[in-house]
Structure 1
Amino acid sequence: MFALLLLLAHFALCSPLSRPHSTSASYTVKESLPAPPPGWAAYSRAPGNHQLKLKIGLTQARFGELEQALWEVSTPGHERYGMHLGKEEVEELVKPLEDSLALVDAWLEEHGIPLSALSRSPAQDWVTLMLPVSAAEQLLNTEYHVFRHTPSGDYLVRALQYSLPAHLHAHIDVIQPSTTFARLQPKRRSLHGERISLGSSAAAIPTSCNSTITPACLKEIYNVGTYTPSATSGNILGIAGYLEEWANINDTNWFLQTFVPEAAAQGYMFSVELINNGTNSQNESEAGGEANLDVQTTAGLSYPIPNIYYSTGGSPPFTPDLNTPTDTNEPYAEFLAYIQGKTDAELPRSLTTSYGDDEQTVPYSYAVRVCNEFAQLGARGVSVMFSSGDGGVGDGLGPNDQAYGPTTCYTNDGKNTSTFLPGFPASCPYVTAVGGTYREGPEWAVPFSGGGFSKYFSQPSYQALAVGTYLAQNPAYVSMYEGLFNPFGRAYPDVSAQSNNFTVNLGGEWVLEAGTSASCPTFTGIISLVNDHLITNGRPALGFLNPWLYAEGHYGFNDITIGNNPGCYTNGFNATVGWDPVTGWGTPDFGKIAQIVWPY
């Protein structure tokens, strides 16, 4: 230990570029897992020639200043409210120190990696390079293995730990793919493949929206009225797509002809942008249930606002038997790099994402870094929405449910302690998490609505009063679920919307879909209308919603007080008056929200 301290003291006295070459003796562990997450098992050593697309996240030197700016431009009453930052301003706040750039470059060159082989983000806070496993193992002093996900049969090439030279730890936040086992699942529930038949009056409001949700239902339930948005204000609604989920144009056109005939008559359709070798096949047999649900829901609500479907490539599974030459990267990083590269005019004002995973399957360092990337979008005036998940407080199994396999409600820290399972990115404090409801007159919390408290992120100040009030008024949860959740963590969801019995055209047939994959694009559609209301009247878009939502926006929401979100063999939490970890503040009332935001 004394020798190590002397070595570190020597490094501190050296100028950055005069430090000795990195050797395995100077490496210390940067990140490690005690074992693969539940459901994953080691399969074999990774082939040495297997290609990895490594992304190195350099420390963002002034992120604290960016976060402060985010709070200021997002909080009603602050003198900077609505004065969103531009692309160059954000990049200036997240760029690494020159010292960090020089040290990391020197390290890579020591390992024979020419700087010409690197690609860098505009702010230079991400460095991307392709390496075979054999070279990556030397660079990171680790071993990569093929891991198999037993329930699905998917494979990933990952490491249980990686190391860096000691003097680089303060300059690098994260390197992936390494220890991330998240599977990025869509939060959609196909209702047993149920097909439905629509009569000639399909475009009219059904007798009861309890049985079938259409655009007319959503507009009625959420008080949209006859509001007609602009097609030319510069407002854009974005839909993030992953995992080769393809949004079908013919299906969506049929949907619009049936439910929004004026949109079909005008030739209205979402546009597509492909990211990281993404694709969007138009083969009817390959139409994606998640993708079609997303684009048809947003189009039905937001026409004629331009909708863009972003299809990001890089999806599992890796197939070891075929010795696949490339591996998948976490697609959030690819999507964020692309979207942050857009000019301010090109950015969507609202963005919906219906994908996520258990928080604990995402390494803490990577979760924080991805969450910070969403903060950058918020500072630039983008409202970022995520589905809250479809497992209640965990696996969705209530106390009276039969288990057909081992429960997943255990920690993956090697201790296998019983726990609720918060979802990510819904648990990120810089996004708006959307839970689920069903029925109408009144709406109830849908039982699968994901909600709870983060183990990674502390409770942000904007929600401290609301969450504290909920816990104070429901002390039984604190005692009954002690140890299962973190009452001091970022609590979610923030809001909710309808999430059951959505009518979708899929492969030319009418089906019913459910999940917070439905509520998230629904809520995003409503926020896009609010942004249109603001922009067309010369006001800035809402941007990051949560400070506004918890301060005053919640007065424009329908409080949901019936239902709960069971999981992990418990009844979960209850919906109640005010904010709750099942439905958040409730569901939006467009008319009321429009009146609230008008003074700004």
Structure 2
Amino acid sequence: MRLQPISITEQRMVVESSTDGTVNIADIPADWQLASAIRASVHPVLKDQRMLVHLGLQQSNVDIVNAKFHSVSNPQNADFGKFLTREELRQLVAPSAETIESVVAWLSANNVVGIEFTHSNDFIRVRLTPAQIEQLFNVELFQYQSASNPEVSIVRSATHAVVPSVVAKYINLVHGFTHFPILKSNENKGANKLGATGSVTPQVIKKMYSVTDVFSGRTNASQAVAEFQGQSFSSSDLAKFLSAFSLPSQTVRNITGPNTDVAHIEANLDVQYIIASGQGIPTDVYLAAGEDFNLIGWITDVEANANSALVWSVSYGENIASQTVADVNRLDVEFQKAAILGHTIIFASGDSGVYSRGATYLKFHPGYPACMASVISVGATEYNDDDTETQTTNWSGGGFALSNYVNASQAPWQIAAVQAYLNSGVELPPSGQYDAMGRAFPDVSAFGLNFQIYEGGFASSVSGTSAAAPTFAGIFSLVNDARLAAGKSPLGFPAYFLYQNAQAFNDIKIGYNKASGLYGFHATTGFDPLSGLGTPNYTRLKAAALALP
């Protein structure tokens, strides 16, 4: 039974710990330091800025969405591949008239203007001043500065939003001023000390993962990367990269958001390797402005756009413990909605082993949203100089979600594989370090070390699960293309398919993802929570996909 969204009022009953009704945000990344003791609402520079806030309205038929998510995704179900249209989805989840009217009336009574609805009418978007946010949601906003990147600052509340009782039953998410993003680092992750590591190029990926196809040119297969925190990519670097590795010229099909054409490592890596791995597949780029990690803004755009790419790769994340259960449940519904439209959402599993970057090294901190049940999570392996791939990196994110956020029962496709791992006799970390009742991740892996990219006109090397995610996404897009060319549906959310076809993966049996901490998980034969099912063999994946209805 999956966790159901809860109202803000119910949420406070679960986690409230203060006497004034506010709830402190747990595990704010240490990188964010208070920059000013002056509240943003009266700060001479900050008080007039407008902050984008999303209000998640109580949706209709969430239970049906969940059931549909499983039925259209499972090849063993008669509804497999029978996705909804956007209009069908809108009619299914649209909030009641009472919900919409009550929330609009509340906002209007508080002098909020410019109220906008997303496609399904289940989110309201408004731009509010700090004073309006403080008044509406019982918070205090302050400016925070990044210690590692001092030119970056954000305005945030250190307590969760509190919605007044008059509308609490109509709103189950408030997003825009409580999330502290984990900033992308330009650090090049080091190799394990076990064996020599080689450089990953497009040719290495094709050879090692048996990628024999390029885009057929006759389907609507498509892929995209989503970038946050002010990233942009360089089209000239993309051209140099493709030329340097003797790949056909290809440009990005659509760009959503502001692209300065300045080379940022993350965006360049994502664009260059999703195109290299899914050669010829039409590719889009979504660029979110500002330093926020606004997943809600992005996923609602995906749901609204009829031309949105079928496969998405995202290489960003944060610590799940900084979220509320209501936040995670609502995002889960949004990812399920994308799945029943036929989209595949892929996330990098993180680069700090079991600890999630920026968290303390005392207890495991699963990365978010990579540990969610409604996405495919990708870990990182090493390519060896002798043309072998035998181990994960020691920093590849993985483990178990906290079960109060994402319970194992929400991912039924992996229960047998996870139990086999736990019962295999492999050495496990101390039981108090992790929650074995949570969903295990990652699902799969791909190379993540020493990727050769172009940045600022020059060749460069970069590492991370953020390299593995677009690599897997590109390969998966070619599998989608093969199905579409055969007159079949795209795979949509593919977890059932992947776990039912574990033989299509190269098993990774060596690895220990403790990063610089005390403990981690060991790789072993079969599924494990640091390499997942293993790395893809395109030829076998394609054959398995074409054998489905």
Give the shorter-chain TM-score range.
Answer: 0.7 to 0.9
Distance 1:269 1:36 in 2: 39
Q: What is the aligned counterpart of 2:278 among 288, 291, 302? A: 302
Distance 2:160 2:310 in 1: 38
Q: What is the aligned counterpart of 2:445 among 484, 488, 496? A: 496
- Aligned position for 2:137: 140
**What are the superposed Cα offsets for residues 108-140 of structure 1, whole Å, 9 maximum, x if unpaired?**
2222335xx201112111111122222222222
- Aligned position for 2:6: none
Superposed displacement of residue 176, structure 1: 2.0
Superposed displacement of residue 348, structure 1: 1.3
Structure 1 residues 182, 508: closer, same or farther in 2, change over 3 A? closer
- Aligned position for 2:7: none
Residues 1:270 and 2:264 aligned together: no
Distance 1:169 1:333 in 2: 20
Preserved CA contact (<8 Å) 2:99 2:170: yes
Amino acid paired to 2:63: G
Preserved CA contact (<8 Å) 2:426 2:522: no
Distance 1:391 1:30 in 2: 31
- Aligned position for 2:465: 516
- Aligned position for 2:84: 85
Q: What is the aligned counterpart of 1:473 among 424, 438, 456? A: 424
The total of aligned residue pairs comes to: 510
**What are the superposed Cα offsets for residues 451-474 of structure 1, whole Å, 9 maximum, x if unpaired?**
011112111222111111111224
Superposed displacement of residue 374, structure 1: 1.4
Structure 1 stretches of 4+ with a deviation exceeding 6 A read none
Distance 1:355 1:289 in 2: 13
- Aligned position for 1:560: 508
Residues 1:443 and 2:390 aligned together: yes
**What are the superposed Cα offsets for residues 521-580 of structure 1, whole Å, 9 maximum, x if unpaired?**
110111011011100010111110112212x22221111001111146224101111110
Structure 1 residues 395, 332: closer, same or farther in 2, change over 3 A? closer
Superposed displacement of residue 28, structure 1: 8.8
User: Where does structure 2 lack aligned partners over 5 or more consecutive residues?
Assistant: 1-18
Superposed displacement of residue 34, structure 1: 6.4
Distance 1:35 1:219 in 2: 40
Distance 1:181 1:340 in 2: 25
Larger Rg: 1
- Aligned position for 2:436: 487
Amino acid paired to 1:488: M
Preserved CA contact (<8 Å) 1:563 1:574: yes
**What are the superposed Cα offsets for residues 440-493 of structure 1, whole Å, 9 maximum, x if unpaired?**
42431111110011112111222111111111224742xx42221111111100
**What are the superposed Cα offsets for residues 172-215 of structure 1, whole Å, 9 maximum, x if unpaired?**
111122322233x44774369xxxxxxxxxxxxxxx99422111
User: Where does structure 1 lack aligned partners over 5 or more consecutive residues?
Assistant: 1-26, 193-207, 317-328, 397-406, 411-417
Distance 2:59 2:406 in 1: 18
3-state SS of 2:432 partner: coil
Superposed displacement of residue 379, structure 1: 1.1
Amino acid paired to 1:471: L
Structure 1 residues 578, 161: closer, same or farther in 2, change over 3 A? same
Alignment of 1:308-327 (within 5 A): 308-313=284-289, 315-316=290-291
Residues 1:224 and 2:175 aligned together: no
Structure 1 residues 539, 173: closer, same or farther in 2, change over 3 A? same
Distance 1:503 1:91 in 2: 43
Q: What is the aligned counterpart of 2:155 among 154, 157, 161? A: 157
Distance 2:87 2:181 in 1: 32
Preserved CA contact (<8 Å) 2:514 2:520: yes
- Aligned position for 1:5: none
Distance 1:188 1:80 in 2: 44
Residues 1:387 and 2:348 aligned together: yes
Preserved CA contact (<8 Å) 2:356 2:397: no
Structure 1 residues 37, 523: closer, same or farther in 2, change over 3 A? closer
Distance 1:85 1:481 in 2: 44
Distance 2:528 2:274 in 1: 26
Superposed displacement of residue 106, structure 1: 2.1
Superposed displacement of residue 301, structure 1: 2.1
3-state SS of 1:444 partner: coil
Preserved CA contact (<8 Å) 2:231 2:267: yes
Superposed displacement of residue 78, structure 1: 0.6
Distance 2:339 2:180 in 1: 27
Preserved CA contact (<8 Å) 1:428 1:490: yes
Alignment of 1:106-185 (within 5 A): 106-114=105-113, 117-153=114-150, 154-159=152-157, 160-183=159-182, 185=183
Alignment of 1:197-216 (within 5 A): 210-216=197-203
Residues 1:333 and 2:309 aligned together: no
Preserved CA contact (<8 Å) 1:191 1:512: no
- Aligned position for 2:378: 434
Distance 2:24 2:87 in 1: 35
Preserved CA contact (<8 Å) 2:427 2:522: no
Distance 2:415 2:161 in 1: 36
Amino acid paired to 2:259: N
Q: What is the aligned counterpart of 2:258 among 268, 272, 279? A: 279
Structure 1 residues 218, 230: closer, same or farther in 2, change over 3 A? same
Preserved CA contact (<8 Å) 1:237 1:306: yes
Distance 1:187 1:39 in 2: 12
Amino acid paired to 2:449: N
- Aligned position for 1:544: 493
Distance 2:128 2:103 in 1: 16
Preserved CA contact (<8 Å) 2:391 2:509: yes
TM-score (norm 2): 0.87
Alignment of 1:12-23 (within 5 A): none
Preserved CA contact (<8 Å) 1:75 1:81: yes
Structure 1 residues 173, 577: closer, same or farther in 2, change over 3 A? same
Preserved CA contact (<8 Å) 1:40 1:147: yes
Amino acid paired to 1:530: V
Distance 2:456 2:354 in 1: 33
Preserved CA contact (<8 Å) 1:182 1:358: no
3-state SS of 2:188 partner: strand
Structure 1, 89-98 or 488-497: larger mean CA deviation = 89-98
3-state SS of 1:79 partner: coil
Preserved CA contact (<8 Å) 1:356 1:423: yes
3-state SS of 1:445 partner: coil
Q: What is the aligned counterpart of 1:243 among 208, 229, 242? A: 229
**What are the superposed Cα offsets for residues 405-436 of structure 1, whole Å, 9 maximum, x if unpaired?**
xx8326xxxxxxx3111101101110000000
Alignment of 1:46-125 (within 5 A): 46-48=40-42, 49-50=47-48, 51-114=50-113, 117-125=114-122
Preserved CA contact (<8 Å) 2:65 2:333: no
- Aligned position for 1:528: 477
Superposed displacement of residue 495, structure 1: 0.1
3-state SS of 2:203 partner: helix
3-state SS of 2:439 partner: strand
